Chain A
Amino acid sequence: MNKLYKANLIFIFLLIIIFTTVAGAEGEVNLYTNRHYDTDELLLQEFEEDTGIMVNVLKGGSDELIEKIAREGKDTSADLLITADAGRLHRAKTMGLLQPVKSKVLFNNIPKNLRDEENYWFGLTIRGRVVVYAKNRVNEADLSSYEDLIDEKWNGKILVRSSSNIYNQSLLASFIELYGRDWAVNWAEGIVKNMARKPQGNDRDQATAVVAGQGDIAIMNTYYLGKMLNSTNQEEVKVAKQLEIFFPKKTHINVSGIGLTRHAKNKENAVRLIEYLTSKKAQEMFAKANFEYPVNNEVKPSELLKSWGEFKTQDINLSSLGENNKEAYMIFNQVGWK
C-alpha cells in the first residue's frame, strides 16, 4: 500500500509540474471548445504534425467556457473558443471577449452569411433544425413550414425537447428575427398545445418516441439522424430507417463556430488553426464525422446528407440568434414550454 501511495504522490507532482509549465511554452495554441468529438482530436493531432504547433484543449459547456474567459480577463490562457451555437459566439463577442480576424483565406473559405458581419467569429460546420416524421404515418405533402406545425391537425403529435436546450432557443430566436416577437409567442404557444408529451430527453429520444408511436413528428437536428443510422445498436438503426427528414420552407440552420479571443497570446498560431479547420482537407473530415454540412463551398456534403436532399435556409445573419436569445428564453417560460 505504501509503495502505491508513494508512486501516486510522485505522479501527482509530475502532473502539477507539467500543467504549470505547459502554459509558458512556445509554438502552441490554446483552445477552449464545446465540441467533444474524437474526430476533432484527430484533426488537431494532424494540425500538430503538419505545423509543429501544439494544441492545448480545454473542453466544457459553452456557457461555462465563456464565463471562464470573461473571469480570466486580459490574462486568459484561451486563444480560441469553439461553440456549437452561433448565438453563444455572438454573446462572447458582445461581452468583448473576441477580436476580429482579417484573413483572405477565411473570407475565401467561408461564405458571408456563415461568419460574423465584422469577422469576430467564423462558422465551421452547419446543421439544420428540421422536422423528422414517421414514414408510415405521415404524408410528406402535409408538411410545409414551421408555422404549419401549430395547425390543429398536429394536435398531440409533436415531440420536442425542453426549452432549456440551446438549439430550441436559437430556433425561436430566428423566428423573432424573421417575423417579430408576437409571431414567435404565437408559434411557441401553438407548439406547446400540440405537444405529444411534456418535453423530456434529448434529440435522439424524440426520434425514438416517433417510431414508438408516442407522436408523429419530432423537431430535431439533422446530424442526430445520421448518428442513429450509424449507431452500434441495431435497434436504433432500425428506428432511424423508419424516419424521414423534412426540411421546412426556410430551414433554420446553425453552426459550430470559432472565434479568436481578444487577449489571445498566440494570435498567429490561432489564425493558422482556424484557417486549417476551414480548409478543404479538414472540412471533409470535420463535417463528415458528425454528419454535418461543411461551411466550405468547395467541399461536398457526404452521400448520406446528399440523399436527404437540398434545402433553402433562413435568410438571416446568425448573429441574430445571440441577439434574440434572452427574448426567446423568456417567451418559452411565458408560454409554459418546460
Chain B
Amino acid sequence: MLNKIGFNNKWSVISLIIIIFIILPSVFIFLGLFEQASDNWVHIKTYLLKDYVFNSFILTFFTGLFSIIIGVSLAWIVNAYDFKFSNFFKWALILPMAIPPYIGSYTYVGLLNYTGVIQTFFRNNLSIIIDPSLLNIMNLPGAIFIYTIFLYPYVYLITNAFFKKQSASIIEVSKTLGKGSFEIFLKVMLPLSRGAYVGGATLVVLEVLNDYGVVKYFGISTFSTSIFQTWFALGDTNSAIKLSASLMILVFIILVIERISRGDKKYNHSSRSVKPLKPYKLKGKKSWAMFFFPAAIFLIGFLVPVAQLIHWSIISYGNITKLNIISILFNSIGVSFIGSILVIIAAVIIANTVRVNKDILTKNYARIAIMGYSIPGAVIAIGVMMFFLKLDSSINMVTNYDIGLILSTSIFMLIFAYFIRFLAIGFNSVESGFQKVGSNYFEASRTLGKSITETFFKVDLPMLKPSLISGFLLVSIEILKELPLTLILRPFNFNTLATRAFEYANDEMIHESAVLSLILIIVSVILIYTLTSYKKKGKR
C-alpha cells in the first residue's frame, strides 16, 4: 500500500526541492569536468599525483584503523566494567572531539618543539638535551597521531551507543558458555558492533580526507592541499576539478567498502525490551588498572592540549587588542544554531519521505543527502559561490533593476554551504531515529485515517525527539569548528571563533590564537555535555 502513495504528497515535493538545491552547486562544479585537460594536469600527473595518493591513503588507513582500536576498546571498557571514574569517562572520552585537529596540531608542535614546555624543562632544569627529532611530529606518523587522538570520538560515540543498546542476554549466554570477558569482547561484541564502528570510522576517514589545516602545516601534500594549490595557486580550475573528481571516486570506494563491511543489518538489535548491560564491578588494584587506559587517552586528547592553551592564553592575553570576543562568540553560536536547525528540518523531511515512498527516485535521496560530506570543503565553497552569483544575476534580470549582489554578499550563502556540507551528519541521526521508531505506529495511524503530516506531528515527532536533538547538537559542533567554507564564503566584517583562531595561527602567532581556541573548545564542551546528559534523560 505504501509504495502507491508515490509522488503526490507535500513531503515528496518539498524533498525534491531540497534535493535539487543540494545538487545544483555540484552541477556547477562538474560542468567543468568536460573541459579539456590543461598542461598543468600532465605536470600534476607526472610529479605529484603519486604523492597525493600515497599520503592520503596512509593517513586515512592508519587513522581509521587506530580510531577503531581506540574508540571500540574504550566504548567496551566503559560499558562492560565499573571502575574508578568510569561514569566520568563515559562522557569525558567524547571531549577530544571539541578540539579541531588543526588547533590540536599547532598546540602539540608548540608543546613538543625546542621552545616547548617539555624540552625546555629538561634543558633548563636537568641539563638534559633531548634530540629534537625524537619529539618531532611534523610528519606522516605525527599527522596520524593528531587525527586519531582528536577524531576517534566519532567511533567511540557510535560504538558506545551500540553497546548500551545491546541486551545483556547476549553476554549472559556467552558467560554461561564459559567465555571470559575478553573473549566475549573479541568473539562476540566486536563482530556484532562492526556496523557501528565501521560507520564511525567512515566519518573519521572523510574528516581526514577533507582536512586542510594539519597537513598544510606539516608540509604533507594530500588531495585536499593539492586541490587548494591547483585551484588557487595555479589558477587552474580544470585540474582542480579533476583532482576533486579523483578524490570523490576514492570516497565512493570507501563508502562501498563501508556498505560491504557493515555486513548484515540483522545484527542490529533494536527490540524494545532491551535489558541494559550491567557493568562488571572491579575492585582495588584491578579498578585502577582499568582506569589507566581511558585516563591516558583523555589526558593526551584533551587535558594536555587544553592546559597548554590555557597557559598560552594567560601569557598572551594582553597582546590581543580590540578583539570583540563577544561578537565573535555570538557569530559562531548564531551560525551554528541556524545552520543546525535547517539541517535537522531538511533531514526530517527527506528521511520521512524516504520512509513513506519506496520508489527508486526517493530511495536515492538518502545517498544524495549525504553527498556533501564527501566533497572537499573548498569545492563546495566554490560551487555554492557560483550558484549564488547565478541566483543574484537572475534576480537582477527578473526584477529588471540593478541591485547588485544581494544573496552572495549575505550570510545566507555561508549557511547554505554549511547546510550542504553537514546534512549527512544530521540525516544519519534522524534516519537512525526513524529506524528505531519503526513503521508500526505510522501504519496504525494511517489506517485510522490520519494524513502523513498529521501522523508525523502527532505520532512520529514525539518519538523522534531524542534523535533530532542529538543530530542538532552534533551538527552544531561541526559548524562551530568549520574552517574552509567559513573562510571563503563569509560576508564582510564577519569572524567566527574558528576563523579568528586560524588567522592568528596562520600568521605564526600561536600564543595569540589560544584565547579563541579555548573559547571554541569551551562552547563545544558545553554542547557535548548537553548531548550526553540529554541522552541519559531520554533513556529513562
Q: What is A's interface to B at a CB cutoff of 8 Å? A: 5, 8-9, 11-12, 15-16, 19-20, 22-23, 30, 36-39, 41-42, 45, 56-61, 63-64, 66-68, 71-73, 75-77, 91, 95, 161-162, 164, 166, 169, 197-205, 208-209, 211-214, 224, 227, 231-233, 235-236, 238-239, 325-326, 329-330, 333-334, 338
B232 touches A164 (CB 8 A): no
Residues on B with beta carbons closer than 8 Å to the beta carbon of A64: 232, 487-488
Is B401 interfacial (CB 8 A cutoff)? no
Tell me the smallest distance from the CB of A265 to a CB of chain B, in Å: 8
List residues 98-123 of chain B with CB under 8 A from any CB of chain A.
109, 113-116, 119-120
Is B182 interfacial (CB 8 A cutoff)? no
Measured between alpha carbons, how far is A39 from B322 in the docked complex, in Å?
A: 9
A77 touches B47 (CB 8 A): no
Tell me the smallest distance from the CB of B134 to a CB of chain A, in Å: 11
A326 touches B234 (CB 8 A): yes
A201 touches B319 (CB 8 A): no
How does the 8 Å CB contact mask read for B461-497 relative to A, with 1 for contact and 0 for none? 0000000000000000000000000011011111100
Residues on B with beta carbons closer than 8 Å to the beta carbon of A57: 492-493
Residues on A with beta carbons closer than 8 Å to the beta carbon of B328: none
B115 touches A36 (CB 8 A): no
Total B residues in contact with A, Cβ cutoff 8 Å: 73
5 CB < 8 A contacts A-B: A58-B491, A72-B408, A75-B405, A91-B235, A227-B508
B511 touches A233 (CB 8 A): yes
A202 touches B508 (CB 8 A): yes
Is B181 interfacial (CB 8 A cutoff)? no
Report, nearest first, the 6 A-B pairs whose CB atoms are least far apart.
Answer: A63-B232, A162-B219, A212-B114, A235-B115, A36-B503, A200-B138
Residues on A with beta carbons closer than 8 Å to the beta carbon of B219: 161-162, 164, 198-201, 338
Is B30 interfacial (CB 8 A cutoff)? no
Find B337's partner among A8, A58, A203, A239 (CB 8 Å cutoff).
A8
Q: What is B's interface to A at a CB cutoff of 8 Å? A: 43, 47-48, 51, 109, 113-116, 119-120, 132-133, 136, 138-139, 216-219, 221, 225, 228-229, 231-235, 312, 315-316, 319-323, 330-331, 333-334, 337-338, 382, 385-386, 389, 392-393, 404-406, 408-412, 487-488, 490-495, 499, 503-504, 506-509, 511
B321 touches A42 (CB 8 A): yes
Residues on A with beta carbons closer than 8 Å to the beta carbon of B235: 91, 95
B330 touches A11 (CB 8 A): yes
A60 touches B488 (CB 8 A): yes
Tell me the smallest distance from the CB of A95 to a CB of chain B, in Å: 8
Residue from A23, A41, A202 with most neighbouring chain B CB atoms (10 Å) = A202
Residues on A with beta carbons closer than 8 Å to the beta carbon of B499: 59
Tell me the smallest distance from the CB of B233 to a CB of chain A, in Å: 6
A204 touches B508 (CB 8 A): yes
Measured between alpha carbons, how far is A30 from B139 in the docked complex, in Å?
A: 40
Residue from B409, B495, B499 with most neighbouring chain A CB atoms (10 Å) = B409
A205 touches B113 (CB 8 A): yes
Tell me the smallest distance from the CB of A1 to a CB of chain B, in Å: 9
A209 touches B114 (CB 8 A): yes
A329 touches B488 (CB 8 A): no
Measured between alpha carbons, how far is A75 from B223 in the docked complex, in Å?
A: 32
Q: Which residue of B lies closest to A57 (CB)?
A: B493
Main secondary structure, interface of B, reads helix
Measured between alpha carbons, how far is A205 from B385 in the docked complex, in Å?
A: 35
Tell me the smallest distance from the CB of B242 to a CB of chain A, in Å: 17
B487 touches A16 (CB 8 A): no
Measured between alpha carbons, how far is A334 from B499 in the docked complex, in Å?
A: 34
Using A19-B492, A232-B319 as known contacts, say yes or no to A77 and B508 having CB atoms under 8 A apart: no
Q: Which residue of B lies closest to A326 (CB)?
A: B234
Q: Which residue of A lies closest to B117 (CB)?
A: A235
A15 touches B331 (CB 8 A): yes
B231 touches A235 (CB 8 A): no
Measured between alpha carbons, how far is A36 from B385 in the docked complex, in Å?
A: 23
Residues on A with beta carbons closer than 8 Å to the beta carbon of B487: 60-61, 64
Tell me the smallest distance from the CB of B313 to a CB of chain A, in Å: 10
Residues on A with beta carbons closer than 8 Å to the beta carbon of B408: 72
Using A60-B487, A63-B233, A224-B508 as known contacts, say yes or no to A19 and B48 having CB atoms under 8 A apart: no
A205 touches B506 (CB 8 A): no
Residues on A with beta carbons closer than 8 Å to the beta carbon of B334: 8, 11-12, 15
Find B322's partner among A45, A59, A73, A236 (CB 8 Å cutoff).
A45
Measured between alpha carbons, how far is A204 from B510 in the docked complex, in Å?
A: 11
Tell me the smallest distance from the CB of B493 to a CB of chain A, in Å: 6
Residues on B with beta carbons closer than 8 Å to the beta carbon of A30: 492
Q: Which residue of A lies closest to B334 (CB)?
A: A12
Measured between alpha carbons, how far is A25 from B337 in the docked complex, in Å?
A: 28
A214 touches B133 (CB 8 A): yes
Measured between alpha carbons, how far is A215 from B479 in the docked complex, in Å?
A: 41
A329 touches B382 (CB 8 A): no
Tell me the smallest distance from the CB of B446 to a CB of chain A, in Å: 32
Find B494's partner among A12, A19, A61 (CB 8 Å cutoff).
A19
Known contacts A201-B138, A238-B115; 19 further A-B pairs (Cβ under 8 A):
A15-B334, A19-B410, A39-B321, A45-B322, A56-B493, A58-B493, A59-B495, A59-B503, A76-B405, A164-B233, A198-B219, A200-B138, A203-B508, A208-B113, A208-B115, A212-B113, A232-B316, A235-B116, A235-B120
Residues on A with beta carbons closer than 8 Å to the beta carbon of B218: 200-201
Residues on A with beta carbons closer than 8 Å to the beta carbon of B234: 326, 329
Measured between alpha carbons, how far is A166 from B234 in the docked complex, in Å?
A: 12
Measured between alpha carbons, how far is A161 from B51 in the docked complex, in Å?
A: 18
Tell me the smallest distance from the CB of B299 to a CB of chain A, in Å: 23
A71 touches B322 (CB 8 A): no
Tell me the smallest distance from the CB of A28 to a CB of chain B, in Å: 10
Residues on B with beta carbons closer than 8 Å to the beta carbon of A63: 228, 231-233
B405 touches A67 (CB 8 A): no
Tell me the smallest distance from the CB of B39 to a CB of chain A, in Å: 10
